[in-house]
Amino acid sequence: MTAWERRDRPVLDVLARGVENDRVALGRDRGRALGLDLDEDELFLAMLALRDAGFVKADMREEASAGITFTNILVTGRGMQALGQWPLFEEITSPATLAAFLERLAKQAEKPEDADTLRRTADYVRSLSGAVLQAAARGALAYGLRAAIPGI
């Protein structure tokens, strides 16, 4: 069994479901507190590996009383892809599924105003018909291709 299977993927899965206050403090048997059979060193190595791979964004700091603490934990789109959860473009075929995708993006937004914009967009998208959504997607794709590839 690889380190990814035994250590990193289970930690990423727990982080994707959310941890209290988007914070993981090492030094108090936290691996087991996350529901995993990992000791402090393994959890630390998993957090570093996930951060280095771009699967997780997190601030790391050393605290005299608590040891190492990871804060502002965010599982990135790349991390969600590694879990097979996001983005699932082939499943964004209706206003409801696109709205759900936008809601998930809102949860991961770094700024509150970006999250609000994504939620408002999700609400709007839910009100569209499938035909309107498909026409908008075709138009956006055509515009993007014309901008990216001159002469088409």
Domain spans in the chain, listed from the N-terminal domain onward = 3-76, 89-148
More confident residue, 53 or 95: 53
What percent of the chain lies above the pLDDT cut of 70? 81
Architecture of domain 3-76: Orthogonal Bundle (1.10)
Asked if residue 52 has pLDDT above 70, the reply is: yes
Secondary structure letter of residue 59 according to DSSP: E
pLDDT-based confidence at residue 98 (cuts at 50, 70, 90) = confident
More confident residue, 40 or 8: 8
- Count other C-beta atoms under 10 Å from residue 147's C-beta: 8
pLDDT-based confidence at residue 83 (cuts at 50, 70, 90) = confident
Asked if residue 21 has pLDDT above 60, the reply is: no
Residues 14 and 36 sit within 8 Å (Cβ to Cβ): yes
Query: Cα(33)–Cα(11) distance, rounded to whole angstroms?
Result: 12
More confident residue, 32 or 80: 80
Closest listed residue to residue 136, CA positions, set 85, 92, 100: 92
pLDDT-based confidence at residue 32 (cuts at 50, 70, 90) = low
pLDDT attached to residue 9? 93
